[in-house]
Structure formats: structure tokens, C-alpha cells
Structure 1
Amino acid sequence: MIAETVCSAASAAGLGISVVTAYRRRYLAAARIAAYSLVPIGLVMTGVVGWLGDTAFSPTAWAGFGVLGAAWLLFAGARSVERRRGGTRAERKAARGAGTGAVAPGASAPSLGSGTTPAARPAGSRGTGSADDFSDIEDILKKHGI
């Protein structure tokens, strides 16, 4: 009963503030304030405030929240241990049986050595040592006109 009274008073105060704001010709702000001030009375009218009041003072509801928290902690703990071990037992066994073969062997071929090596670069490419690292970047930038 007191929660409904407080929500009604908050809505009335908010509507009063929105009227004063509209009087000052700030209509957009007044509309926003009115919208926010209608929320508490809407919650009272739908019964949400009564339900929350009953839930807040119910020992059974708090015990239920405790059980849900314990379930969440167990789930999160089991999940973190599973990640540290590298998956479930069946997943590890399947990974061992699969070997190290690639899913798409041709897809990783370019990264294994068909790129430009220092020996395969054209003679016009400049630099050796640490400059080799940046020569590829310079070639790409020149290609794009940068």
C-alpha cells in the first residue's frame, strides 16, 4: 500500500515538473519528463509494484534467489574447470584420434612458404635485415598509391 502511494506521489511530482518545463517553452524536455513520470503509476496499475513488494518481503522468494545463485556458481565453476582441462573427456579423445591433420590442407599452404622470401624477391626490392620486414609494407603502400 505504501509503495503504491509513493509511486503515485512520484508520478504527480514528475507531471508537475513537466508542466513547469512546458510553461518555459521547452516542450521536448517536458514530454520526456512526462514520459518518465508516468512509468511509476503505470507499474502500480499493472500490479508489478505489488508483486515486487510481495517478493521483497517473502523468505521463500529470497531462498529461491539463493538457490538460483548457487546453481549459477556451480555452472560457472564447472565451465571454467572444463575450459582449463581442454574440453570434455569425449572431446579430448576425439581430438587425439583426429590427429593434427588440417581441415582444409590447401587453405594453409600459402602461409607455409609460398609467399615472397628474401631470395625470391626482385632485385629492385631494397634493404636487408630489419628493412626486409618493412619492404613488404612499402610494396603494398606503393601498390595502392600511398
Structure 2
Amino acid sequence: MPDFNDLTLLPFCAGLTLIGLIGSWFAWRRRGAAAGTRGVAWSLLPVSLYLTGLLELVWDVVRSAVSWVTHLIFSPTVWAGVALFGVSVVLYVVSGFARSRRGDTPREPKKQKQPKPAGELTTTGPAPASAAPAKAAKPKTKGGQQDSSEFDEIEDILKRHGIN
């Protein structure tokens, strides 16, 4: 790409600003003051970029980006690297599936839980009531149904709330 110096950039920026100001004047007449003012704002940008030195910076960034993209597109070594990257990703994913299907994951031996007596205090607190040993079977009446006493009703309420 050609390298521009100050003598080339100044007329270019002045020309862009002049064309923009002429367009802004027409926009002001046809669409109103808001459109014209916005056009003047955009028209002043090329000269302001030149005067602050940012135009050279923008030019260098664009030139470097274009050089990088052309190198990326037309270089066979870059495409070989992209292909190898893709192969490595595919192999990694396939190895994850193979490991999960075959069971290659190292497993820790299962610890045998020893039953704790009901009511014993542990580091986490007392065992919940549901972990207590099962209660004796309730006596049944002649018809095979349970006694309908107040205690049975209270017990049903507690069971509904998850309290045994």
C-alpha cells in the first residue's frame, strides 16, 4: 500500500470537508436545520483528524489490518495452522466422549456408611426424625382400619408437613 505524507493528506482532507459542507448546505435547505447541522459535523471530521495527527494513526491501523488479512487469506502455512487447530479441537471432544462411555474416569472407592444410633449428635447435628428407626406397627381394629383418635389426625398433619 502506498505511504502518504502530509502533502498528500492535507488536500485529500480539505476536499472531503469541502464536499461534505456543500452536501450539508443542500441537506439544510431540503430537510431542515437538524440534518444540515449533522452534515456539518460529519464534514469537519477529516480536517480535525488531520490537524490532530490521528489520520496517520488511522491510516497505519488500516494498512496493518489489510496486510494481516491478506497474509491470513493467501498464506498456506496459516491455513495449515487453522486446520491443525480444528483437528485438535475435534480430537479433544472425541476423547471426552470416549472417556465418558468407556468409564476411564478414575473413581474413588465408595465409603461404607455406618448406621448411627438415633439421637446421637454428629458434626452436622442430630439425625432427622425420618432417619430414626421405623416405629412399631399400629394396632388395627376389627375392620382392618386404624383407630381414628386425635393422635392419628395430628400424625397425619405432621406427615403432610414433612415432620415424622
- Verify same fold: TM over 0.5: no
Q: Which is higher, the Rg of structure 1 or of structure 2?
A: 2
Q: Which has the higher helix share?
A: 1
Comparing both chains, which one has the higher relative contact order based on Cα–Cα distances under 8 Å and sequence gaps of 6 or more? 1
